[in-house]
């Protein structure tokens, strides 16, 4: 009897606390300003739905997070959430969005080097190392956040490609598809690396010495707001000139081969809880990638690699923030890999401060970077009707001062005799200024140094197109 009375009392206390807790009922959700984007694409990013009843204690945080998720689609320059309370305990939510510019039929003028600094300093600003052409990019092709890109380039690389991705093909908006096909050819290629510098060869007769073809198809599964799974199958065919395979670097494809064919299977998992994906100030990101190169159909490739990446960001105050990035690569098949796939530091996001002029190839890699940021200014430039495109008439701008530090290590059992930066600890850092425009366009100017005490000014761009 005593246990029964205790259980009834406990239930009474729990029920009383639930009754005392204030709740909010979502009476209605209205969207304005989305001329192209469909309502369901926006509603997919919101953490609550019409008719939901939420504890008052979490309503404000879910409202702010929903705004961040809508902005992180990359479809809008602005999203304003307005809450009205027509009845006690019920709210109406009005979402006003300002759509970004989705269509970019722009001329292509791009540098082929890994970063601006390599082209400007080491390649003496050579116009021969520039691609030009036309790219048609539609970032919201049918209003469903689907992306279409058609590209034709000439110059350093002659290439033609078609890419299309549709994030949702099912009623639950969890499953998407992607496809890509492309062909390119070059008169010059990076055939080796010595002293951690890329070596290039250009055919004196102007012949094409590298040809590449690839076709990709994949599925993307996004069951919630923060989790994404993707599975891609890719066929790739590369062919090089006999002078590269026989004389300059027989290990380019290994064993003096001129032709390399392979199927690739890639699984990628992403957990993304950052506030602003293009320039985060709080939250975290974890990604894991398993990549099998060569599925037994052709014998040209046989590799299995695992790549892990983790970012964490903390706001310290209204103006100060800090964080770190960690990246790793591990090769589970330990046999020697061809030079064109033997990459570690210096490519993509795996760049260490102060090492913009260097590459470090290897089987395995570890990279850790930390930073401290201070927001110098936050403003909005208004151009008015002087700008004919409405999406560009207001330009939000933020400027940050940052202090950077980082360390890296690459395990290279095959070419370390000619590349001294491998199999040793590398470190670098410096000061920089970051300019964030239109929410997702980031321009960086950094003054960095490395373990050789080399130092210089480095520029980086990310336009998220």
319 shares a domain with 184: yes
| 240-260 pLDDT, tens digit each | 999 999 999 999 999 999 999
Distance CA 460, CA 117 (A): 9
Distance CA 335, CA 202 (A): 30
337 shares a domain with 207: yes
The pLDDT of residue 233 is above 70: yes
Task: List the domain range (segments joined by +) for residue 226.
Answer: 103-462
| 54-88 pLDDT, tens digit each | 888 888 889 999 999 999 898 998 899 999 988 88
- Total domains in the chain come to 2
The pLDDT of residue 429 is above 60: yes
Enumerate residues 6+ apart whose C-beta is below 8 A from 426.
345, 352, 355, 360, 407, 408, 409, 410, 450, 451
| 178-227 pLDDT, tens digit each | 999 999 999 989 999 999 999 999 888 888 999 999 999 999 999 988 99
Residues above pLDDT 70, as percent of the chain: 92
Q: What is the mean pLDDT of residues 435-444?
A: 85
Output the CA–CA distances (angstroms, integers) from residue 148 to 37, 44, 164, 259, in the order listed: 15, 21, 5, 31
Distance CA 162, CA 157 (A): 16
Output the CA–CA distances (angstroms, integers) from residue 105 to 87, 155, 209, 257, in the order listed: 49, 19, 30, 39
Q: How many CB atoms lie within 10 A of CB 285?
A: 18
Single pTM value for the model: 0.80
Distance CA 460, CA 42 (A): 31
Domain boundary, last residue among 98, 120, 144: 98
CATH number where 343 lies: 2.40.160.50
3-class DSSP state of 227? strand
171 shares a domain with 135: yes
Domain presence at residue 2: no
| 145-189 pLDDT, tens digit each | 999 999 998 888 889 999 999 999 998 899 999 999 999 999 989
Could you tell me which residue, 459 or 340, shows the higher pLDDT? Answer: 340
142 shares a domain with 74: no
Domain boundary, last residue among 65, 98, 131: 98
Domain presence at residue 1: no
- The terminus-to-terminus CA distance of the chain in angstroms comes to 70
Beta bridge partners of 239: 211, 259
Domain presence at residue 12: no
The pLDDT of residue 285 is above 80: yes
283 shares a domain with 261: yes
92 shares a domain with 184: no
Domain presence at residue 55: yes
Domain presence at residue 6: no
194 shares a domain with 47: no
Domain presence at residue 16: no
Domain boundary, last residue among 60, 75, 98: 98
Confidence of residue 15 (pLDDT cuts 50, 70, 90): very low
Confidence of residue 13 (pLDDT cuts 50, 70, 90): very low
SS3 per-residue string spanning 380-404: EEECHHHCCCHHHCEEEEEEEEEEE
The pLDDT of residue 119 is above 70: yes
Over the chain, what is the mean pLDDT? Answer: 88
């Amino acid at each position: 009897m005593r246990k029964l009375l205790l259980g009834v009392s406990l239930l009474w206390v729990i029920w009383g606390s639930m009754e005392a807790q204030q709740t909010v009922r979502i009476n209605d959700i209205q969207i304005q300003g989305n001329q192209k984007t469909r309502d369901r694409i926006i509603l997919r990013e919101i953490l609550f739905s019409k008719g939901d009843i939420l504890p008052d204690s979490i309503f404000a945080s879910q409202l702010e997070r929903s705004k961040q998720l809508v902005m992180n689609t990359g479809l809008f320059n602005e999203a304003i959430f307005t809450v009205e309370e027509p009845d006690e305990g019920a709210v109406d939510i009005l979402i006003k969005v300002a759509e970004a510019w989705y269509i970019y039929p722009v001329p292509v003028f791009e540098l082929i080097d890994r970063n601006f600094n390599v082209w400007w300093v080491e390649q003496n600003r050579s116009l021969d190392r520039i691609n030009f052409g036309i790219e048609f990019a539609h970032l919201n092709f049918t209003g469903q956040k689907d992306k279409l890109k058609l590209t034709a380039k000439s110059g350093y690389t002659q290439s033609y490609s078609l890419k299309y991705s549709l994030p949702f093909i099912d009623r639950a908006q969890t499953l998407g598809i992607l496809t890509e096909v492309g062909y390119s050819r070059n008169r010059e290629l990076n055939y080796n690396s010595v002293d951690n510098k890329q070596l290039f060869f250009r055919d004196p007769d102007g012949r094409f010495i590298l040809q590449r073809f690839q076709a990709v198809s994949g599925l993307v599964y996004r069951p919630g707001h923060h989790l994404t799974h993707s599975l891609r199958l890719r066929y790739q065919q590369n062919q090089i000139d006999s002078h590269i395979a026989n004389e300059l670097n027989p290990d380019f494809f290994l064993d003096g081969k001129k032709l390399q064919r392979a199927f690739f299977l890639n699984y990628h998992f992403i957990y993304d809880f950052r506030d602003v994906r293009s320039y985060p100030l709080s939250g975290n990101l974890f990604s894991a990638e398993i990549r099998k190169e060569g599925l037994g159909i052709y014998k040209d490739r046989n590799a299995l690699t695992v790549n892990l990446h983790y970012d964490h960001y903390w706001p310290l105050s209204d103006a100060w923030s800090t964080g770190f990035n960690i990246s790793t690569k591990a090769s589970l098949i330990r046999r020697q890999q061809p030079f064109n796939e033997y990459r570690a530091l210096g490519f993509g996001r795996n760049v260490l401060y102060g090492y913009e002029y260097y590459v470090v190839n290897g089987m395995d890699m570890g990279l850790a970077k930390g930073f401290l940021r201070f927001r110098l200014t936050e403003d909005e430039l208004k151009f008015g009707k002087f700008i004919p495109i409405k999406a560009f008439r207001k330009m939000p701008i933020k400027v940050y001062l940052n202090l950077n530090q980082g360390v890296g290590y690459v395990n290279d059992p095959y070419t370390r005799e000619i590349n001294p930066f491998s199999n040793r600890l590398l470190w670098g850092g410096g000061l920089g200024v970051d300019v964030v425009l239109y929410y997702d366009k980031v321009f960086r100017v950094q003054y960095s140094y490395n373990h050789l005490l080399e130092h210089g000014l480095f520029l980086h761009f990310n336009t998220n197109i």
